[in-house]
Amino acid sequence: MRRLPCPAGLFLFVAASVVSPGSAAGFVAGADFSHLAFFESLGVIYRRAGQPQDGLAILKEQGLNCVRLRLFTSSAAQAQADPYNYVNNLDYTLPLARRVKNAGLGFMLDFHYSDTWADPGHQRKPAAWASLTFPQLLEQVRQYNSNSIATFREAGVMPDYVQVGNEITGGLLWPDGQVGGANDTAAQWSKLAQLLTNAVAGIRDAAGALMPKVVVHIDRGGDWAGTQWFFDHLTQEQVPFDVIGESYYPFWHGSLEDLRSCLSNAAVRYQKPVMVMETAFPWSNWTNIFGIPASPAGQVDYVAELAQVVRGVAGGMGVGVLWWGAEYQAVSGQNLAGFDTKSFFDNGGNVLPVAEAVGELAAPLNVEASMAKGTLALSWPLSGAGSSLTMATNFAQTCSWLTVTDAVQRTGTKYSVTLPIADSSCFFRLQSK
């Protein structure tokens, strides 16, 4: 609590932090950096203020607190023949995870259960698992997860979060765990549930007391009906998990209001925290999206709008945002699907303001105050998105906190409001809506 002297012997008191169960301290402000070592091997350089620097150190300095790394089942031969599409196996990911932890960042592991990319349209079973019967596949999933987690644990890089599959709206390990369409049957949902339950059991086998939070990740951030369809089935099958993860790309998945509805409804219906596992916004080569320009400043504006949605989920149940393809830069001979112009870095490798904006989502929620010419100026970071500024005339337990109705402005990654100095002592704090 900061006390400011005012005219006539009065005082203003400004609280240092938000009153909300979803405080900044537990919020994941992250980035998928899975191809960092791949891009470095092609000569890509990451810069801050024009100076070359380790990409992970840049993330840490910008305030991010977590890095997500995907894990493929690919062989060494596959990874060598086509690195972009197959390199993310254990031999590649383990040393990158060490770098993440050494940089002081949290680590999220994203199991793909495939030799290459797994997504809503592709959940191809690993080649080495193709001939397994369903009972054998169940055991293989458990052993694979257990062995993988044990390897990370023994290396001192235990994940903080683990995804059991990537964008598994249609299931995983097709055709055994496929759901939806012609496979929207009780038998197929039972198979998917068994696979996911065994995947979680494998993590628990190796993690013991260091059990990470388990995320189930689909790609329906703007689609509440699709989200409800999926998670109603999963909860009916009693699959154990901790966090609902959604992909949300504004150029594919609907409006921010659609996202708000989906996340809020999911948090209430399933009583689990929700996280935007993948998002991105262009800094170039795109038209405006929902009125936000495709520019470096537009990326910051997008993060601010996204923050209002995620941090505004009731009860502090919106717990994270991760930027996909944050490490991407254009390289010759690689089709990057345009994500090199949606990343954290420009064509010269310089970090863009969007990185700081994402980092601000987890910034300590300090309210700064200053006075001049009979006015009080208050400011706070993006981690206060979704909160209201309130005031009271005393600090008793039974006091009434009233919402300050003066217009709050945002400049870059900071919110601010200017108020006239009151005629009596005042207390201010941020409070969840």
Among residues 246, 278, 327, 360, the one annotated as catalytic is 278
| Nearest Cα residue to 56 out of 80, 76, 39 | 39
| Catalytic annotation present for 40 | no
Find the length of the chain. 433
Q: How far apart are CA 70 and CA 353, in angstroms?
A: 25
Sign (positive/negative) of CA torsion 357, 361, 366, 372?
A: positive
Q: How far apart are CA 150 and CA 156, in angstroms?
A: 10
| Nearest Cα residue to 203 out of 169, 161, 255, 266 | 161
Instruction: Using DSSP, state whether 63 is helix, strand or coil.
Output: coil
Instruction: Please say whether the beta carbons of 18 and 384 come within 8 A.
Output: yes
CA 275 distance to own-chain centroid = 6
| Catalytic annotation present for 305 | no
164 burial type by CB count under 10 A (0-12 exposed, 13-18 middle, 19+ buried) = buried
Residue 200 neighbours by CB distance under 10 Å? 22
215, β-bridge pairs: 163, 243
Catalytic residues: 167, 278
